[in-house]
Amino acid sequence: MTDQILVIGAGAAGLMTARALSKAGMKVTIIEARDRAGGRVFTTHPQDFSMRIEAGAEFIHGDLPFTLRLLQEAGLKYHSAKGEIWSVRKKQLHQQQDFIEGHEILIKNLKALKQDISVKEFLDKNFAESKHEQLRSSITGYVEGYDLADPGKASAMELRNEWLREDETEQYRIENGYGTLIDYLKNQCEQQGCVFHFNCIARQIHWKENEVELKTADQKIYTSNKVVITVPLGVWQGRVSTMARIDFFPAITGKQQAASAMGFGEVIKVILEFNEPFWENQNIVGKRKMKNLGFLFSDAEIPTWWTQLPSHIPILTGWFGGPRVKPFIHLNDEGILQLVMDCLTKIFLVEHAVLIEKLKARSVFNWSADVFTGGGYSYSSLNSQEYKRILSAPVANTLFFAGEALAEGCESGTVEAAFSSGANVAGKILGKASK
């Protein structure tokens, strides 16, 4: 008898799981709360924009095996996202050689760590002197912005491993967007017999060994032998509301507690298209002209910005991550855009009126206010490996768990991690089935 599998979530992890299981001949049904596949991967083309934009995941962080193998399989092209790195702090503009200033001394001290501590404690112990103010600021900004992490909770050892992996790592973008890869996986799943149910919110899972009954918010019932839960960590933690929460009967209290203890970061992403790349125009920005601007880090409230380089398309993306986002989560889009313009005025020394005149299109993606996400992605907190082990362990060969937060052996918070986790869970199910 063929096993019937329910997969909750049609994001990268869910699709990867469903593809592998359906290829092996299992009957797979995918339950997705949104009206689309992809989850935190969302390539979209709003009407006013001249091209597709990445509302969520955008970069491939290095030569990642799952992602690059899938791209090759799908015949999709990708290109390097090169460009200069600039910094504006205390109104001073200068060029950086790396994402973190003082990278070498940072790595030297991290390698000397014998016991794990928080990033904040690490900075207080090693870089408390005033001469290290810029380094502390750079590291804190990186941890909050790139990892979306709270420095007081983030693991220095885990972040050390991340920084060592990313030394001289190249960044890539997929031509026509990450969504093309999601479409490829979804189409493969459908060709192999997977059934998708969109706008379908899982609310209750009643289970016993090899029997699962799932009830949805609109009172539909789905049954299976096993279920794979791939919802984001923010949903486990009930970040936004109880609307997306899944209740288990019997309860799985230990897993809920582990999920609550893990790190999950806040983020708001803003994408702006102008009628020209004004940051390259000396008549507008004066001495702040940045012809080959790739990334810009600042002390503005929205600190991180990037362009579409090597393309000179006049799109500027603002990235606001980490604990400092919390006071702004409940702002409406207009309030966030006002904050955006204040930041750009501070960074480029350009008047509001000039920016507004040149602004062609704008979109705000407040992932922290999103009911089905509750934030951006996970980060490595203290003891996160133990919590990850607890949350990812299958229950009675019936309940299985996947997602970027649960990946083993690669960086959490990435699409690669979601792919890896999905493939790993599928392997566990297939391994049990073959015995």
- Mind giving me the DSSP string for 362-390? EEEEEGGG-TTTSSS-EE-BTTHHHHHHH
Q: What is the pLDDT of residues 43-88, one digit of tens each?
A: 999 999 999 999 999 999 889 999 999 999 999 999 999 899 999 9
CA distance 435 to 432: 5
Residue 117, SS3? coil
Does the domain at 4-41+177-260+379-433 match CATH 3.50.50.60? Answer given as yes
Helix and strand numbers (H, E) in the chain are: 14, 23
**Amino acid letter at 424?**
N
- Cα(2)–Cα(8) distance, rounded to whole angstroms? 19
**Residue 138: predicted pLDDT:** 85
CA 86 to the chain's CA centroid: 23
The tokens for 339 are 């904050």
d(CA 238, CA 261): 12
Mean pLDDT of 135-158: 91
Q: What is the pLDDT of residues 202-231, one digit of tens each?
A: 999 999 999 999 999 999 999 999 999 999
Q: Collapse the DSSP code of 169 into the 3-class scheme (helix H, G, I; strand E, B; otherwise coil) and give the result.
A: coil
Q: Which residues have CB under 8 Å from 37's CB, separation 6+?
A: 10, 11, 15, 182, 183, 185, 186, 196, 198
Helices (H), 177-328: 179-191, 233-236, 253-261, 282-285
What gap in Å lies between CA 271 and CA 337, rounded to an integer?
10
- On whether the CB atoms of residues 240 and 24 are closer than 8 A, the answer is no
CA dist 53 and 271 (Å) reads: 8
Residues 212 and 398: beta-carbon distance below 8 Å: yes
Q: Are 340 and 81 in contact (CB under 8 A)?
A: no
With a CB cutoff of 8 Å and minimum separation 6, the contacts of 138 are 100, 101, 102, 297
| Of 279 and 137, more confident | 279
Average pLDDT over residues 363-382: 96
Q: pTM higher than 0.75, yes or no?
A: yes
Distance CA 61, CA 53 (A): 18
Domain boundaries, the chain: 4-41+177-260+379-433, 84-165
Nearest to 188 by CA among 418, 400, 30: 30
pLDDT at position 373 over 70? yes
Is-contact 349 280, C-beta < 8 A? no
pLDDT value of residue 168: 52
250 cis-preceded (ω within 30 degrees of 0): yes
When mean pLDDT is compared across 146-160, 267-281, 334-348, the lowest value belongs to 146-160
Q: What are 33's two structure tokens?
A: 């709360």
Show Cβ contacts of residue 278 under 8 Å, excluding neighbours closer than 6 positions.
Answer: 284, 285, 314, 348, 350, 354, 355, 358
Measured between alpha carbons, how far is 153 from 44 in angstroms, rounded to an integer?
34
Question: Which residues, 6 or more positions from 372, have their beta carbon under 8 angstroms from its beta carbon?
Answer: 33, 34, 39, 231, 232, 235, 244
> What is the bridge-based pairing of β-strands 359-366 and 293-298?
unpaired
Give the total residue count for the chain: 435
pLDDT in tens, 174-201: 999 999 999 999 999 999 999 999 999 9
* pLDDT for 364 beyond 90: yes
Phi, psi of 222 (to 5 degrees): -125, 140
